[in-house]
Amino acid sequence: MGAGVRRKRQKRGGRRERQRRGAREWDAYFTVEAVLIFPLALYICIFILYSGFYIYDRCVAEQDAYRAALRGSSLYREDMQAVYNAAEDTLREHMEGKYAVADYDFSVRAQGGVSIVMEGDVNMPFQGLRLLPETGAWHIRVEAESRCINPVFLIRMYRQLKQEKE
């Protein structure tokens, strides 16, 4: 009889041992899962954040480019150097410290109007976020153009058209 009791105790001990090992196996399973999922979740969150920065910088760059083009062409000037200077000064004034993640270079051309081209790349914290770098997915290019119009000539032309219509 004493031997039978021992066997039962050994069986119970074996079951407990298996249960303890099973708990450890589950712990290891969660560890492996966390190692795979947490970096991926972090990567996706950073990607979404930088996508928002990209959209913000693109919108602000378009706004600044059109503002500078309009300011350069707002008053009719015979001197195109004055038009160029007005547009360039406006760009320099509005570009300082405004953009979240992009660095821009710009070019201004004044010839019958003002044409502005701004180009920049988004600075990424991880190179892995640069999806398809050859396609320029994180490159921003903004073009703005405004014509220089003589306001006196425009008003006279408007009055002539209005008289012809009546």
Q: Is residue 146 a contact partner of residue 66, using CB atoms and an 8 Å limit?
A: yes
- Which pLDDT value is given to residue 76? 65
How many domains is the chain built from?
Answer: 1
Q: What CA–CA distance (Å, rounded) separates 64 from 117? A: 11
Higher-confidence residue of 101 and 37: namely 37
User: Does the pLDDT value for residue 6 go beyond 80?
Assistant: no
* Single-letter amino acid code for the residue at 98: K
Helix (H, G, I), strand (E, B) or coil at 137: coil
Q: Is residue 114 a contact partner of residue 149, using CB atoms and an 8 Å limit?
A: no
For 133, the token pair is 């770098």
- Which pLDDT value is given to residue 62? 92
- Which pLDDT value is given to residue 133? 52
- Which pLDDT value is given to residue 11? 47
Q: What CA–CA distance (Å, rounded) separates 115 from 144? A: 6
User: Does the pLDDT value for residue 10 go beyond 50?
Assistant: no
Calculate what percentage of the chain has a pLDDT beyond 70: 72
Range of the domain at 106: 2-165
